[in-house]
């Protein structure tokens, strides 16, 4: 897969910056049309944050934290199925609250165990209604939660976690942050309710290797695109990195939250009862994830990862605040004016996307590029 530069530098139709989901999907789709593609990444591996590898204990781990695939899109699932078989997996999460491990998202069992009650599904609806606070206009993440489940559940499950994750109080964050987490009146303890929930059978990296195996695709790793772009001739660039960095932070830096990961291996078969345990109120980390649940491996030892949110480091999460959205609009205007570059993916569009949403965006971008190419061919010279 590594480039040997036997291909003349001028032979590329597309220079793609970033070998994560957005860049790899577009590389595969474009190569299938006969286009010659060079995909470049500054990291020493493909797959972006979804990259996985085997650690010294033989456990398949996710160095950048757990990546759980789920989608309601048959098109996205069918597309990725061209490059991997799947292992069905439904992720479950518990939250450490008041000395108990309780299901999250909040469901019937969460309420009954926390408060020592024996409510039915119908009764828990009344319970939520009785504790919910009336919010005239939902603007913030705090508004979303207290308007659904009241102040006590908000404080126990959401406020501390959000403050650790974002470095801000939920009252300072856009409503979209906590709106992603549902509240259930039944006993469904799955973290996601999507139609398709599965993990790549042999891991994400193998899936990306299959995706990039086309002979029209060349890959360069450990490479900053700025170092090689002036040396190449190519028709079009596809950029999946941070949009503010592309424009040399001319309007200032877009705020991101980053993560520090602490990986551990333990000489025991399991470390915790489910794939992820959240710690909303205690410790400096937000959660611990155990990979054997996620990968389905059977082994005498187990590997886990602790996640510590931080302000500095690789950009992971755009910070959803109105002033940041306004700053992004300035960069978006610059990006829209660049006909020679297509901006796609989380970082390039300053949005928090799940993996399936990035794939869907990349597939839609491919269709637009194809339509543009057809129009160009039909224009009189």
Q: Are residues 28 and 124 in the same domain?
A: no
pLDDT of residue 374: 66
Q: Are residues 223 and 371 in the same domain?
A: yes
Between CA 51 and CA 281 the distance in angstroms is 30
Q: Are residues 124 and 226 in the same domain?
A: no
Tokens representing 126? 């009344």
pLDDT of residue 178: 85
Between CA 338 and CA 358 the distance in angstroms is 21
Q: Are residues 41 and 145 in the same domain?
A: no
Q: Are residues 323 and 246 in the same domain?
A: yes
- What confidence tens digit (pLDDT) does each residue in 76-89 have? 999 999 999 999 99
The answer as to whether 264 is a domain residue is no
Q: Are residues 18 and 165 in the same domain?
A: no
The answer as to whether 90 is a domain residue is no
What is the per-residue burial (b if ≥16 Cβ within 10 Å, else e) of 252-262? eebbbbebeee
pLDDT of residue 11: 78
Q: Last residue of some domain: 122, 155, 179?
A: 179
The answer as to whether 94 is a domain residue is no
Q: Last residue of some domain: 162, 179, 196?
A: 179
Q: What is the per-residue DSSP string for 262-282?
A: EEEEESSS-SSSSSEEE-SSS
Tally of structural domains, the chain? 2
The answer as to whether 23 is a domain residue is yes
Q: Is the distance from CB of 354 to CB of 371 less than 8 angstroms?
A: no
pLDDT of residue 5: 47
DSSP β-ladder status, 53-54 and 60-61? antiparallel
The answer as to whether 332 is a domain residue is yes
CATH of residue 245's domain is: 3.40.50.720
Q: Are residues 217 and 173 in the same domain?
A: no
- What confidence tens digit (pLDDT) does each residue in 65-75 have? 999 999 999 99
Q: Are residues 125 and 216 in the same domain?
A: no
Question: Which residues touch 21 (CB under 8 Å, ≥6 apart)?
Answer: 48, 50, 345, 355, 358, 359, 362
Q: Name the 3-class secondary structure at 191.
A: coil
- Residue corresponding to tokens 């006993």: 187
- Residue corresponding to tokens 């299901």: 103
The answer as to whether 345 is a domain residue is yes
Question: Which residues touch 81 (CB under 8 Å, ≥6 apart)?
Answer: none
Q: Are residues 249 and 335 in the same domain?
A: yes
Between CA 205 and CA 62 the distance in angstroms is 10
Locate all alpha helices (DSSP H) within 107-242, ordered by sequence: 108-115, 121-131, 141-153, 160-166, 176-179, 204-211, 225-228
Low-confidence stretches of the chain (pLDDT beneath 70): 1-10, 374-381
Between CA 120 and CA 201 the distance in angstroms is 38
The answer as to whether 145 is a domain residue is yes
Q: Are residues 331 and 236 in the same domain?
A: yes
Locate all alpha helices (DSSP H) within 16-167, ordered by sequence: 21-31, 74-80, 108-115, 121-131, 141-153, 160-166
Q: Last residue of some domain: 159, 179, 199?
A: 179
The answer as to whether 110 is a domain residue is yes
Tokens representing 44? 């020493």
Domain of residue 219: give its range.
9-46+212-254+319-378
Q: Are residues 166 and 117 in the same domain?
A: yes
Between CA 92 and CA 66 the distance in angstroms is 12
Q: Are residues 28 and 123 in the same domain?
A: no
- pTM over 0.85? The answer is yes
């Amino acid at each position: 897969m590594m480039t040997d530069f036997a291909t003349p530098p001028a032979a590329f139709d597309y220079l793609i910056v970033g070998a994560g989901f957005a860049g790899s999907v577009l590389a595969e789709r474009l190569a299938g049309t006969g286009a010659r593609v060079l995909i470049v990444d500054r990291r020493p591996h493909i797959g972006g944050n979804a990259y996985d590898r085997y650690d010294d204990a033989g456990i398949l781990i996710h160095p950048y934290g757990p990546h759980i695939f789920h989608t309601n899109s048959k098109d996205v699932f069918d597309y990725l199925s061209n490059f991997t078989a799947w292992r069905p997996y439904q992720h479950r999460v518990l939250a450490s609250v008041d000395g108990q491990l309780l299901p999250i998202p909040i469901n019937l069992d969460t309420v009954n165990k926390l408060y020592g009650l024996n409510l039915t599904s119908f009764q828990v609806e009344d319970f939520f209604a009785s504790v919910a606070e009336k919010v005239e206009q939902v603007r913030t993440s705090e508004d979303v939660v207290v308007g659904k489940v009241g102040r006590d559940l908000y404080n126990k499950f959401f406020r501390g976690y959000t403050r650790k994750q974002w470095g801000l109080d939920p009252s300072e964050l856009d409503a979209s942050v906590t709106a992603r987490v549902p509240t259930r009146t039944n006993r469904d303890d799955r973290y996601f309710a999507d139609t398709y929930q599965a993990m790549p059978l042999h891991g994400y990296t193998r899936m990306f290797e299959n995706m990039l195996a086309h002979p029209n695709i060349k890959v360069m790793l450990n490479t900053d695109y700025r170092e090689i772009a002036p040396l190449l001739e190519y028709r079009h660039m596809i950029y999946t990195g941070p949009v503010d960095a592309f424009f040399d932070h001319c309007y200032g830096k877009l705020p991101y939250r980053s993560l520090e990961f602490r990986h551990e291996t333990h000489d025991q078969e399991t470390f915790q009862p489910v794939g992820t345990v959240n710690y909303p109120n205690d410790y400096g980390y937000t959660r611990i994830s155990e990979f054997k649940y996620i990968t389905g491996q059977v082994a005498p030892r187990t590997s886990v990862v602790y996640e510590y949110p931080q302000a500095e480091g690789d950009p992971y999460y755009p910070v959803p605040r109105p002033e940041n959205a306004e700053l992004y609009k300035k960069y978006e205007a610059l990006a829209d004016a660049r006909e020679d570059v297509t901006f796609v993916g989380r970082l390039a569009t300053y949005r928090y996307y799940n993996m399936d949403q990035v794939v869907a965006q990349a597939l839609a971008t491919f269709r637009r590029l194809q339509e543009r190419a057809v129009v160009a061919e039909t224009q009189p010279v």
